[in-house]
């Protein structure tokens, strides 16, 4: 669970720059 939060925060930061919905795109990918 801790890994998910850390990865989510990293993707959120990098995703916000590339896309505004990195969580939804990475959620099904993982």
pLDDT at position 23 is 59
Three-class SS of 1-22:
CHHHHHHHHHHHHHHHHHCCCH
Domain ranges within the chain, ordered by starting residue: 1-30
pLDDT at position 1 is 54
Tell me the pLDDT tens digit for each residue of 1-30: 567 788 877 777 666 665 555 556 555 555
């Amino acid at each position: 669970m801790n890994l998910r939060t850390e990865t989510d925060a990293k993707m959120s930061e990098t995703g916000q720059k590339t896309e505004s919905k990195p969580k939804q795109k990475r959620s099904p990918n993982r």
